[in-house]
Structure 1
């Protein structure tokens, strides 16, 4: 992190899918309200992704920063921590690089944020043929009324409904988190030492950081019917590490943990 405190950093995680990342970055450029910077948190992609980021950086409307680590398997918790360490914003919005963001995505997150809270959102699923068409055409024209989407109601944008549901929707469900669409105050991430890098492989790192944030006294807010994202189809990732990751999550719940040992403080002077 540099010494200039910005307001909003958008962290985009990616791994070896530059075709999807292109659409994600196109949607960022089309936002009505831009973040102050975009951090690409890259879990070991090949040069194709670097070349794409360099192409976008030439005329990107805000600083576009590429944070890369060697490919050592699925290390999402680690690269998110490195992205957070590189970020200069006091508020961190986190997405995956296979999303197309609604034009008001960042504006909705800014409207929704409150002290002593963190936010998780939802997503609209784009089916395989529509995803392939969008990628092939390099287009981001997708919305609530488009064909080829699932979870259609998640594409609805309503200030009234989002405000009503914020602290009512699935509040007691520790498994309801969407790591692809979350937001935090950076100072709160520092308190809990960021993501727990004991998690490797797919799953539960987002649930576990949420539990630790709640254990420090924060409240979870669900940003339903706002901050809409559209998720490009891809085959399901391996769940081979899920049982082990579930055990780590259950330990955090049982021991009321607030911090983690292997976390953000490896990369930044907290």
Structure 2
């Protein structure tokens, strides 16, 4: 049997002013069975405390740990992700949020499942508030299989043989996904001009880029029972911008848009 040759990979972590969660996330990355070639923290305006944490972990990481920061001008996730992607040096982009603890085979699973002409979207296990508090207090980089308190425990069962059963999306959920657990070929992100920076405030930036990738001919691959993440509980963010962002999403779908009107190109010129 010929082993699959894995692409080089950049793991991008979006974060904002929650160093306790970021520390747990970084510790889980250090436990990975296969490290990415680089880790890039996409920081949407955090304070010095987050910078100090990253500097401490830069001395511990066996691969480059890069900090990409922008001033706090409100929720600008699309912009900071574009800046991080512009800095990335690798073929494959694995994207997470800093409120996640990664299964030790997370990166390996995403690389194993990488296929040309596809982008991947995974799921998450939502941890209880009580268990999350314990993990944060202890700065743990591992979530225990036997201490889950969650409504979706099945998402935490790593059964690679079942993963292929979920690879194709249903027609009614083609644009549904979790932006906190995705993976793309960098060249495909470049082809659609990255994230649409017209989307500001919480929500829909991940659905919108998925719509444009699909319009470009890139297939969505649903990943279940592999590439597992555990989501640290937090209160939901304000969703005042959802109606406006929904309009931008629907425009991309109805007009079959491919290229973001305000996207990654500016950041590529500066990086």
**TM-score, normalised with respect to structure 2:** 0.95
Which consecutive residues of structure 1, in runs of 5 or more, have no partner in the other structure?
1-5
- Say which is worse superposed, 59-68 or 132-141, in terms of deviation: 132-141
- Structure 1 residues 212-245: Cα deviation after superposition (integer angstroms, max 9, x where no partner): 0000111100011100000000110001000000
Q: What's the offset of the Cα at 1:145? A: 3.2
Q: In 2, are the aligned partners of 1:40 and 1:65 still within 8 Å (CA)?
A: yes
Tell me how large the CA RMSD over aligned residues is.
Answer: 1.3
Q: What's the offset of the Cα at 1:115? A: 0.5
Counterpart in the other structure of 2:3: none
Q: 1:144 to 1:48 in 2, by over 3 A?
A: same
Q: In 2, are the aligned partners of 1:171 and 1:220 still within 8 Å (CA)?
A: no
Q: What's the offset of the Cα at 1:142? A: 1.4
Counterpart in the other structure of 1:187: 187
1:103-122 to structure 2, matched below 5 A, reads 103-122=104-123
Counterpart in the other structure of 2:244: 244
Aligned residue pairs, count = 264
- Structure 1 residues 143-191: Cα deviation after superposition (integer angstroms, max 9, x where no partner): 4432323310000111111012111x44541442100000000000000
Distance (Å, rounded) in 2 between the aligned partners of 1:25 and 1:208? 28
- Structure 1 residues 17-49: Cα deviation after superposition (integer angstroms, max 9, x where no partner): 000000000000000000000000000000000
Q: Which runs of 4+ in 1 moved over 6 A?
A: none
Counterpart in the other structure of 1:253: 253
2:93 counterpart of 1:127: no
Counterpart in the other structure of 2:4: none
Distance (Å, rounded) in 2 between the aligned partners of 1:228 and 1:125? 11
Q: In 2, are the aligned partners of 1:144 and 1:152 still within 8 Å (CA)?
A: no
Q: In 1, are the aligned partners of 2:109 and 2:227 still within 8 Å (CA)?
A: yes
- Helix, strand or coil for the counterpart of 1:131? helix
Which consecutive residues of structure 2, in runs of 5 or more, have no partner in the other structure?
1-6
Q: In 1, are the aligned partners of 2:159 and 2:226 still within 8 Å (CA)?
A: yes
Q: In 2, are the aligned partners of 1:100 and 1:229 still within 8 Å (CA)?
A: yes
Distance (Å, rounded) in 2 between the aligned partners of 1:54 and 1:260? 33
